Amino acid sequence: MENSTYFHPSVLMLSFGDLTSLRYLFSALTLIGYFIIIFVNGTVISAVVLNKTLHEPMYIFIAALCVNGLYGSIAFYPILFVHLVYNVQTISYTGCLTQVFFLHTYGSFEMTTLTIMAYDRYVCICNPLRYNNIMSLATVFKLIVAAWLYPIVIVGLHVMLTARLPMCGSLIMKVYCDNWSVVRLSCVDTTVNNIYGFFIASSLVVSALVMLSYSYTKILKVCTRSSKDILNKAMQTCGPQLITSVNFIVDIFFEIFLYRFTPTIIPYNVRQFMSMQFLVVPPLLNPLIYGIKITEMRVKIIKMFNMNKIYNK
């Protein structure tokens, strides 16, 4: 009799809370934010692709980070906009798992890309004479493929483990689907899912923290023994990466740990907005920071727009 309560729902309910009372305002902000993300990330990607002088590892990694920003935004903004405009708070079970896959691979891509970017800066500053040999273009593209292939495999398995669970609930306490929210709807033992989820978090977040800490500690030691010019150059390229890395890790830390273990100590509306931080801030922040703070990138972007103006005349 107990098993009769288990089912695989065709539709899941999302929780929009107070967003529905101002849904037209939030839908407009969602649309504007989405177009801004497309514009700023597309601008950085175009600058890297169109300028041969930017065909270097650091800029290629920045372009990869912006591609990932577009990838994650496509899986989040359009469906959120539709839900707000039409006041729809449901999503199909298949659509929910699909969104889980895309959003979790987006977050994983971000972590792995930031990790290899830290490694790139470590090699550049700590082993400058060997940099070109170590970070050849072939190596760069292999690192990017590995940084994207690994998350696809581990997140794909994660979603498959979730899809096998019978459900006895249908309410997700967010405006989007994430794996833990779906797992919580199951009435059966989810130990395997929890252990595997902990493995993913450890392999991505912890490894990224270790690599970032090691790389920038080594970089700082080298800079303290170098001239002021070298220190300024290092800060110009490492500063933006530190900002984007710390911002994303803090957002992910909240999403993975605080929401999972202590969700009730934070007001519901605050949790709703905080749960969207890693989907909203990095795609906006990354291209702006890299496009403004890195001089060569900024110059190429300005030149690109000036050439467009001349061409249009």
Tally of helices (H runs) and strands (E runs) in the chain: 14, 3
Selection from 4, 5, 28 nearest residue 84 by Cα? 28
CA 89 to chain centre: 24
Q: Cα–Cα distance between 118 and 97 in angstroms, integer?
A: 32
Q: What is the pLDDT of residue 263?
A: 56
* Residue span of the structural domain in which 125 resides: 2-312
Tell me the pLDDT of the chain (313 aa) as tens digits: 344 445 566 778 887 776 777 888 989 999 999 999 999 999 999 999 999 999 999 999 999 999 999 999 999 999 999 999 988 888 999 999 999 999 999 999 999 999 999 899 889 888 888 999 999 999 999 999 999 999 999 999 999 999 989 888 888 888 899 998 899 888 888 999 989 988 888 888 888 888 888 888 888 888 777 666 666 766 777 778 888 888 888 877 777 666 666 556 677 777 777 788 888 989 999 999 888 878 888 888 888 887 655 545 5
Q: What is the pLDDT of residue 261?
A: 61
The whole-model pTM stands at: 0.89
Q: Cα–Cα distance between 108 and 47 in angstroms, integer?
A: 25
Query: Domain tally for the chain?
Result: 1
Q: What is the pLDDT of residue 1?
A: 36
Cα angle: 255, vertex 201, 203; to 5 degrees: 150
Q: Is the separation of the CB atoms in 28 and 93 below 8 Å? A: no
Is residue 167 classed as helix, strand or coil in its secondary structure? strand
Q: What is the pLDDT of residue 254?
A: 75
Q: Cα–Cα distance between 166 and 6 in angstroms, integer?
A: 6
Q: What is the pLDDT of residue 244?
A: 85
- What CATH number does the domain containing 308 carry? 1.20.1070.10
Selection from 57, 93, 96 nearest residue 79 by Cα? 96
Q: What is the pLDDT of residue 6?
A: 53
